[in-house]
Structure 1
Amino acid sequence: MNTKWLEWGQQLQALAQNGLTYSKNPYDIERYHQLRSLAADIMAAHTDTESTYIHNLFSQEQGYATPKVDVRGAVFKEQKILLVKEKEDGCWTLPGGWADIGDSPKDAVEREIYEESGYKTQAIKLVAVYDRNHHRHGHPPFAYHVYKLFFLCQLISGTPTISIETEEVGFFGKQEIPELSLTRVVPSQITRLFDHYADPTLQTDFD
């Protein structure tokens, strides 16, 4: 699937956001607003989303445009990996989400795992840093450019507990993986996490 339109839209949005951050000239500011609207129109033309909705998303972004950071934790027990079922789409994913301002990556992933699954863990290894946009991963199109950080985490304590975002919690073997929420994680990434669990000496993967 050709997703050049997504790359162009994201680049135009970044140019517009950076221009609005630093420009003082009112004519330039007007042009950057027009450029942002064009980026929203490009994305709307290739999705089922209204351009006004995308424009509002872009308008919330301020300062110099950089990729967002998504953290995901791989927790294993008896050769099985922890997954949570998302209420949003009814599919399964590794616990995780956006890294919050003020959190270190380690703190962020441990907090996300606890909030979404009820398990307390300790992040022990950065397994991978992936560019969500890279075609080799196969994530569906998304408005933002995202770096995904995957951590191998050691289970400490806790009991399965659902959250406002999750409706089921479970451990699954390598051949038992349920339907995944592909916007969050894809099968090849799950497979690679099993590889790192089986061989802790593997080096960190990165794009």
Structure 2
Amino acid sequence: MTLKWLKWSQRLQAIAQNGLTYTQSPYDSERYQQIRQIAADIMATYAHETPTYVCDLFSKEEGYATPKIDVRGVVFHNNQILLVKEREDGCWTLPGGWVDVGESPSNAVVREVYEESGYHTQIVKLLAIYDRNHPRHQHPPLRHHVYKLFFQCQIIGGSPAESIETSEAAFFAEQNLPELSLTRVVPSQIARLFEHYQNPDWQADFD
């Protein structure tokens, strides 16, 4: 379940960021800075970080506050799904990552799949757009509000390879999944993606 303190902190930070973006009043600017500090204090208290560290992270966010975009490549072969092993936590996930500025989601996922697994792919269809912060997904807390886009991809070349971020790429049956990197993907999402694979006429999920 999404923690209330995290939602409060994210919402206050968004209000402060939007206010600082548009206000022309030095008095309002000071008030929005105070709101940002309160948001940092809340997150620092429950995330066991210093308020200065969190406030510095918040201050780097500029412009109107919007969710970040995370893309994940969903590659099936012989009723198995492609996963990569993260060096960061030693757990497995769908290949993917942040969409870069100026990059389309489809180009980003093709790039990420190749960089993290060694496989060249092409997009088949969009399977799901999930709100990472929605309680039903049960991801661990993250300071960002994130939308996760899951694209089914088809292999057109390449071979399994490790990368700076991943140490292994392999295919797994639904009944034999390894330990998942829950920051990136959760079991219920993998299960739903297998259902999409078995029902190719389904429309994309959302939220």
Q: TM tier, shorter chain?
A: over 0.9
Is the alpha carbon distance of 1:145 and 1:176 closer, same or farther for their aligned partners in structure 2, counting shifts above 3 Å?
Answer: same
TM-score by length of 2: 0.97
Tell me the CA shift for residue 18 of structure 1: 0.4
- Contact 2:2-2:135 at 8 Å conserved across structures: no
In the other structure, the counterpart of 1:177 is 177
What's the secondary structure of 1:136's corresponding residue?
A: helix
CA deviation string 1:39-89 (max 9, x = no partner): 111111111222222222211110000011100010111111111111111
What's the secondary structure of 1:172's corresponding residue?
A: strand
CA distance in 2, matches of 1:190, 1:30: 45
In the other structure, the counterpart of 2:118 is 118
In the other structure, the counterpart of 1:86 is 86
CA distance in 1, matches of 2:2, 2:132: 15
Q: Which runs of 5+ in 2 are unaligned?
A: none
What's the secondary structure of 1:124's corresponding residue?
A: strand
CA distance in 2, matches of 1:70, 1:21: 24
Tell me the CA shift for residue 2 of structure 1: 6.0
Sequence identity percentage? 66
Write the mapping of 1:28-107 to structure 2, written as runs, cut at 5 A. Answer: 28-107=28-107
Code of the residue aligned with 1:94 in structure 2: it is: L
CA distance in 1, matches of 2:200, 2:194: 10
CA distance in 2, matches of 1:101, 1:49: 28
Query: Following TM superposition, where does structure 1 have runs of at least 4 consecutive aligned residues deviating by more than 3 angstroms?
Result: none
The number of residue pairs the alignment matches comes to 207
Tell me the CA shift for residue 97 of structure 1: 0.5
Q: Which runs of 5+ in 1 are unaligned?
A: none
CA distance in 2, matches of 1:178, 1:8: 34
CA distance in 2, matches of 1:109, 1:57: 26
In the other structure, the counterpart of 1:158 is 158
TM-score by length of 1: 0.97
- Contact 2:110-2:122 at 8 Å conserved across structures: yes
